[in-house]
Amino acid sequence: MTGTDQSSFLGRISIRRNQVNAMEGYHEQEIEDLELFQKQLSDRFAELLSAPDDAPTEAFLSISWIRKLVDVFLCCETECKAILLMERDAAQISKPPLDRLIPELLERVVKAMDICNAVTNGLELVRHCQKLAEIAVSALEQKPFGEGQARRAKKALVSLMSAMHVDDKESSVQKTAERSWSFGRRSGNKDRHHGHYRSLSWQVAKHWSASKQIHAMTMNLAAPRGPEASCLPAPVYILSLIIVFVMWVLIAAIPCQERSGLTTHLPINKHVNWTHSLASIHDKIGEEWKKKEKKGMAGLLYEMQKMEKLGQSLIEFTDSYQFPGEKEKLDEVAAQVAELAEVCRRMDEGLVPLQMLIREAFHRLVRNRTEFLDVLEQGGPVV
């Protein structure tokens, strides 16, 4: 989607509301706005769904794909809020069933803020993996290559694998924290190198669990039926669903505190047109999650998966490597190293902007909540 799409949509609502506010036919106009909005949503998710599963760039669940998803979320959030609040009398917002739906939405918004922070912490871990992979790459690219470099690469790759596969349970976090100052003997150093990314700052809070947050966010999340489906409860549902969905994808893709037991079922109403692509994306990720959950918790991020696969294979190579090595094998490895280097490069390009984007989403949620609260409390329309 482009910026002009959105601004014209917002302009349309604004002008429309000004013109027809007190006139007959207001409701019809609203329905039209809502339909246009849903059509745009449908297009955006269809575009996300169309991303290739495996491609050097823009792959499904890649960093750039996640950035697009968060962008879609930001746009949708703005438009939904426009439909709900722009030029609207607060009295409409505080009537049933909105008097129940809006506070429920705001509770989800608060949970989503915590998830954004958990994901920001998780991205630190991904960055840490990137640094380790970069060490491996630079060792493997050394000319002339020898056992020393193979060992150097292996050391980095083993750290990388264990950093990826530490489970995100709280117990392991506490163990790390307790152990930290007590080691000093050489034997104690073995696995601490990646331990710090699991320590205190990794936590959102004690006993906090990403999967439980998602579970709580899906409570009471039901598509409006009957006449409600075409008026204000509809955008509230859409916004709620998209918040839950985007947060769910982020948790599945990026490591964060306590993801075990993450649901693979979100209450998506598949009987409306706009949710088709969304539901397909959901199913696809859900399937992936079920497959991967038991194996380790690196997350479904395309780059991490790729890194994991390449890492495994390169560990095998470094394990069995003997100087000077077979030419054929070396060429094969060189291709893998180039691939890993490419993954690192994409992480280097994309991780920091993604982190900032998620922070932006966080701030947006904060503002969003404030605006809703202002309308609810002051009872005046948002201009």
Partner 1 sequence: MDGCQSGVPTYEGDLHVVAAAHHIVKALGATKNLSDDLRKILIDLDSHLSMITSNIDSKGGRGLVDVEERLDQAERKIMRWETDPMMIWDSGPKEASDYLEAVDETGKLVDGLRGLSVHENRKQKEILHRAMNILQMAMSRLEEELIHILVRHGQQFEPKHMYSRSIRKDIVYDESFVSVEDEPIKETSSRNYSNDESGECIVDLVHADVIPDIKSIAKVMFTSNYGPEFCEAFISVQKEALEQYFSFLGTENLSIEDVLKMEWTCLSSKMNKWTWSMKIIVRVYLASEKQLCDQVLGGLGSVSSYCFLEISKATILCLLNFGEAVAMGPHRPEKLLRLLDMYETLACLLRDIDTLFSEEAGSFIQLQFHELLERLGESAIAAFEAFRVAISSNGSLYPFAGGGVHPLNKYVMNYIRMFPEYCNTLNLLLKNQHPGVADQVTEPDYGLDASLLTSCPMAYHLRSITSCLESNLHKKSQLYKDEALQHIFLMNNIHYLVQKVKGSELRLFFGDEWIRKHNAMFQQHAMNYERATWSSVVSFLKDDNPGSSSMSKSTFKERCKGFSVAFEEVYKTQTSWSIPDPELREDLRISTSLKVVLAYRTFLGRNLAYTDDKCVKHTVEHVENSLLDLFEGSSRSLRNSRRW
**Contact flag: residue 205 with partner 1 (CB under 8 A):** yes
Contacting partner 1 (CB under 8 A), which of 183, 220, 348, 380? 183
Dig out the tokens for 353 from the structure.
């902007």
Contacting partner 1 (CB under 8 A), which of 19, 50, 57, 180? 180
Question: What is the distance between the alpha carbons of residues 38 and 36, in angstroms, rounded to a whole number?
Answer: 5
Dig out the tokens for 170 from the structure.
């709280």
Contacting partner 1 (CB under 8 A), which of 6, 87, 170, 208? 208
Find the binding residues for partner 1 in span 354-373 (CB under 8 A). 355-356, 359, 362-363, 366, 369-370
The residue behind tokens 């079920």 is 290
Question: What is the distance between the alpha carbons of residues 221 and 268, in angstroms, rounded to a whole number?
Answer: 9
Coil, strand or helix at 233: helix
**Contact flag: residue 149 with partner 1 (CB under 8 A):** yes
Contacting partner 1 (CB under 8 A), which of 17, 44, 81, 152? 152
Helix (H) or strand (E) holding 344: helix 327-378
Angle between helices 3-20 and 63-85 (to 10 degrees): 10
**Contact flag: residue 200 with partner 1 (CB under 8 A):** yes
- Give residue 383's Cα distance to chain centre: 32
Q: Tell me, what amino acid is at 38? A: Q
Find the binding residues for partner 1 in span 117-136 (CB under 8 A). 117, 120-121, 124, 128, 131-132, 134-135
Contacting partner 1 (CB under 8 A), which of 3, 25, 96, 144? 144
Dig out the tokens for 233 from the structure.
């409860």
**Contact flag: residue 227 with partner 1 (CB under 8 A):** no
Least distance between partner 1 and beta carbon 159 (Å): 8
Least distance between partner 1 and beta carbon 39 (Å): 33
Contact of 115 with 251, CB cutoff 8 Å: yes
**Contact flag: residue 103 with partner 1 (CB under 8 A):** no
11 versus 148: smaller Cβ distance to partner 1 = 148
Contacting partner 1 (CB under 8 A), which of 27, 151, 215, 329? 151
59 versus 314: smaller Cβ distance to partner 1 = 314
C-alpha dist (Å) from residue 362 to 32, 110, 146, 357, 366: 30, 10, 48, 9, 6
Contact window for partner 1 (CB under 8 A) among 45-53, 177-185, 275-283, 340-348: 177-185
Contacting partner 1 (CB under 8 A), which of 33, 79, 114, 288? 114
- Asked if the bond preceding 324 is cis, omega within 30° of 0, the reply is yes
132 closest CA partner among 143, 122, 140, 120: 140
Q: How many residues bind partner 1 (CB under 8 A)?
A: 55
62 versus 130: smaller Cβ distance to partner 1 = 130
- Adjacent-strand bridge partners of 382: 86
**Contact flag: residue 14 with partner 1 (CB under 8 A):** no
Question: What is the distance between the alpha carbons of residues 118 and 373, in angstroms, rounded to a whole number?
Answer: 25
Contacting partner 1 (CB under 8 A), which of 78, 162, 174, 199? 199
DSSP single-letter state for residue 380: P
Least distance between partner 1 and beta carbon 266 (Å): 20
C-alpha dist (Å) from residue 263 to 161, 217, 260: 25, 11, 9
DSSP single-letter state for residue 185: S
**Contact flag: residue 40 with partner 1 (CB under 8 A):** no
12 versus 155: smaller Cβ distance to partner 1 = 155
Coil, strand or helix at 90: helix
Residues 6+ apart with CB under 8 A from 361: 70, 73, 74, 116
Find the binding residues for partner 1 in span 276-335 (CB under 8 A). 323
Least distance between partner 1 and beta carbon 120 (Å): 7
Q: Which residues of the chain form contacts with partner 1 (CB under 8 A)? A: 110-111, 113-114, 117, 120-121, 124, 128, 131-132, 134-135, 138, 144, 146-149, 151-152, 155-156, 177, 180-181, 183-186, 189, 192-196, 199-206, 208, 323, 352, 355-356, 359, 362-363, 366, 369-370
